[in-house]
């Protein structure tokens, strides 16, 4: 198992000042301009140890950023997991009972026979999320990898990614076998709906550059949604665009059957294997091979290894496009 210990380069903000919110939901703030426009949501802490988004949202709230058009919601999601963060066991606070980002179907949320810390929080946040038109969900990664956009499987997600203009790699996928993500919930994942969502993996959880990415994509998203003017954005948040964006379609997940899984090398993500049939790991002693040429590894990690967990997804490069400025 890859057990690299990454240094914690950032300070975890004290978000307790934001607990009351203004929506009746703790840690969820909605500001209405009173002018027609979309309802835009910037969400942080879908996972409790992914701090870069929390830093960006905390800074927006402390700066009293307000929309000129439409509505703006700024939220911290799995605060209970965040409160459990322990630098000695930094991966342990991803969630409390179950992954918050695997519960987002109406059926799951309506099923009152099921209960967990994460389900209770999702059910509390659901009334606000049901009214959101454009969602930006800020995440980070277990391993040190270049940042990427998770655009979902639909053309509208790819189009929004191209308009955002960064990060340079756009991952198109159907999600995870364990359950549906927030970014795919209801209208976000419906091709007939005008609602749209992006999930940004900003970099390794605790590297300082991940905070720069979170600020950059947040400022771009707010500008793109036209809820703010350029002058309203924090100075220095928007960084130069990459020269091009790579569209990568996930074709299949590699799911661990048990704890007996290991990779062939210390992969961290976006590695490309030119030849089909390349061995990338072993599952219960059986070789796991790339199914086609130029196969890309998307977010490989064994830090949450258990039976049924996706340890890596395999991607096919579909397109290269010029990034928006």
Distance of CA 220 to the CA centre of its chain: 16
Q: What is the pLDDT of residue 178?
A: 81
Element (H, E) at 201: strand 196-204
Residues 6+ apart with CB under 8 A from 324: 162, 163, 164, 165, 241
Model confidence pLDDT, tens digit, residues 121-151: 999 999 999 999 999 999 999 999 999 999 9
- Distance (Å) of CA 279 to CA 89, 263, 289, 294: 31, 9, 4, 13
Q: For residue 146, which of 280, 296, 276 has the smallest C-alpha distance? A: 296
Exposure string (b/e) for 146-167, b if CB count within 10 Å is 16 or more?
Answer: bbbbbbbebebbbebbbebbbb
User: pLDDT-based confidence at 157, cuts 50/70/90?
Assistant: very high
Dihedral-angle region of residue 165 (phi above 0 means left; psi in -120 to 50 means alpha; beta otherwise): left
The answer, yes or no, to whether residue 48 has pLDDT greater than 50, is yes
Report long-range pairs for 227-232 (Cβ below 8 Å, ≥24 apart).
227/33, 227/37, 227/38, 227/40, 227/67, 227/68, 227/69, 227/70, 227/71, 227/72, 228/65, 228/67, 228/68, 228/72, 229/68, 232/65, 232/66, 232/68
CA distance 241 to 322: 10
Helices (H) and strands (E) in the chain, counts: 6, 14
Distance of CA 115 to the CA centre of its chain: 24
Q: Within the chain, what is the greatest distance between any pair of CA atoms? A: 61
Model confidence pLDDT, tens digit, residues 70-106: 999 999 999 999 999 998 888 889 999 999 999 999 9
The domains of the chain, with CATH numbers, are 16-244 (3.40.630.10), 249-320 (2.40.50)
Residues 6+ apart with CB under 8 A from 121: 77, 78, 79, 80, 100
SS3 of 107, please?
helix
- Distance (Å) of CA 256 to CA 63, 259, 291, 300, 304: 44, 7, 17, 12, 10
Q: What is the pLDDT of residue 36?
A: 98
Model confidence pLDDT, tens digit, residues 253-292: 999 999 999 999 999 999 999 999 999 999 999 999 999 9
The answer, yes or no, to whether residue 2 has pLDDT greater than 50, is no
CA distance 184 to 46: 14
Residues 6+ apart with CB under 8 A from 97: 116, 117, 118
Question: Tokens at residue 266, please?
Answer: 């210390």
Model confidence pLDDT, tens digit, residues 241-254: 999 999 999 999 99
Question: Tokens at residue 27, please?
Answer: 């840690």
């Amino acid at each position: 198992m890859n057990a690299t210990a990454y240094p914690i380069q950032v300070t975890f903000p004290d978000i307790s000042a934001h607990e009351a919110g203004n929506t009746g939901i703790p840690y969820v703030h909605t500001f209405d301009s009173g002018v027609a426009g979309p309802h835009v949501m910037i969400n942080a802490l879908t996972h409790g140890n992914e701090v870069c988004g929390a830093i960006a949202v905390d800074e927006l709230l402390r700066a009293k950023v307000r929309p000129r058009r439409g509505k703006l919601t700024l939220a911290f999601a799995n605060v209970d997991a965040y409160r459990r963060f322990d630098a000695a066991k930094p991966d342990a606070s991803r969630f409390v009972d179950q992954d918050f980002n695997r519960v987002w179907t109406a059926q799951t949320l309506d099923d009152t026979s099921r209960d967990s810390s994460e389900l209770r929080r999702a059910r509390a946040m659901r009334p606000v999320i049901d009214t959101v038109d454009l969602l930006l969900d800020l995440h980070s990664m277990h391993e040190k990898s270049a940042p990427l956009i998770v655009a979902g499987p639909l053309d509208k997600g790819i189009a929004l990614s191209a308009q955002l203009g960064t990060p340079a790699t756009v991952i198109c996928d159907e999600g995870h076998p364990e359950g549906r993500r927030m970014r795919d919930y209801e209208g976000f994942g419906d091709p007939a709906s005008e609602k749209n969502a992006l999930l940004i993996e900003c970099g390794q959880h605790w590297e300082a550059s991940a905070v720069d990415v979170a600020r950059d994509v947040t400022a771009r998203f707010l500008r793109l949604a036209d809820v703010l003017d350029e002058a309203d954005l924090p100075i220095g948040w928007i960084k130069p665009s990459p020269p091009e964006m790579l569209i990568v379609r996930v074709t299949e997940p590699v799911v661990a059957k048990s704890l007996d899984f290991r990779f062939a090398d210390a992969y961290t993500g976006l590695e490309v294997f030119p030849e089909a049939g390349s061995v990338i790991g072993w599952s219960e002693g059986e070789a796991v091979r790339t199914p086609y040429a130029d196969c890309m590894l998307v977010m490989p990690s064994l830090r949450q290894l258990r039976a049924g967990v996706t340890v890596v997804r395999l991607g096919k490069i579909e397109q290269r496009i010029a990034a928006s400025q």
